[in-house]
Amino acid sequence: MARRSNNVGITNLSVRKSYAGSFDYQAYVSLVNYTPEPRTFNFTLELDGKTLAERSVTMEPSVRRSVVLPFSHNGGGAVAARLQIDDDLAADNVAWAVLPPPRKIAVTLVSPGNLFLEKVLKTDPQVALDVKTPDQYQGGMGDADVVVLDSASPARVGAGRFIFVNTVPPDVPAPCGRAPRSSRGAGQRLRRPTTGAAPGWSSVGMPPRAHRPRPGSGGRQQ
């Protein structure tokens, strides 16, 4: 005589990056209760054999449910979801997912010497920093993901991902016109930031020629 299956199982496990923090992730787990009765059991999430989270779950008969568990980790590893339950099929009471190690961002800093900027970049655990003097840099990206030019102006930088600090290289199409005299604060040179103060952005005004009213229909200005 046939009987219905007494089984609760994991049908899907995936791990996704959460951008709330540098090393934050979310585990998405899909559960199914195939039985005609409510089932209560413990659910655990593990990373390399260590428990990250544990919950008590109650599922109604013949329903599907998704569980989201956030966690933090600064490396790679094997993520396991486990159901602590005695049913007819033990194989679907565990599921695995691989968490690849995070890739660091290769940053090249070209500077005659800026301890403040160098320290800021070194404190980011996701940055692999390479420091060069202006004489050692000949332009281009090299093997870097981002190049930071500080007070250095090579003849050519080329195409790529650059951050310019106190410099504008000759081949960069940046507008360098005369600053309007009547604009309060416009044309001020921003000095290199120090650890004790931030630039006074409230004193920087918009140039008066930034927006010119144009006559519209009925004599109204746009």
Structure confidence at residue 23 as a pLDDT band (50, 70, 90): confident
CA 174 to chain centre: 28
pLDDT at 35 over 70: yes
Report the pLDDT averaged over residues 16-20.
81
Note the pLDDT of residue 86: 92
Q: Are 72 and 20 in contact (CB under 8 A)?
A: no
β pairing state of 94-99 and 77-84: antiparallel
* pLDDT per residue as tens digits for the range 83-96: 999 999 999 999 99
pLDDT at 113 over 50: yes
Note the pLDDT of residue 93: 96
Residue-by-residue DSSP string for 139-187:
SS-TT-SEEEEES---S---SS-EEEES---TTS-----PPPTTSTTTT
* Cα 60-65-67 angle, rounded to 5 deg: 130
Place of tokens 């940053």: 107
Amino acid at residue number 115: L
Element (H, E) at 84: strand 77-84
93 phi and psi angles, rounded to 5 deg: -90, 0
β pairing state of 127-132 and 77-84: unpaired
* pLDDT per residue as tens digits for the range 148-185: 999 888 888 888 899 998 888 888 876 555 444 544 44
Please enumerate in sequence order all residues whose Cβ is within 8 A of that of 75, keeping only pairs 6 or more positions apart, or say none: 101, 102
User: Among 133, 136, 109, which residue's Cα sits nearest to residue 120?
Assistant: 109
The total of other beta-carbon atoms located within 10 Å of residue 10's CB is 20
Note the pLDDT of residue 101: 84
Most distant CA pair in the chain, distance: 95
Percent of all residues in the chain with a pLDDT value above 90, rounded to a whole number: 46
Q: Are 44 and 81 in contact (CB under 8 A)?
A: yes
Structure confidence at residue 124 as a pLDDT band (50, 70, 90): confident
Amino acid at residue number 43: F
pLDDT at 1 over 50: no
User: Among 18, 22, 21, 20, which residue's Cα sits nearest to residue 126?
Assistant: 22
The burial class, CB within 10 Å (0-12 / 13-18 / 19+), for 138 is exposed
pLDDT at 64 over 90: yes
- Model confidence, pTM: 0.53
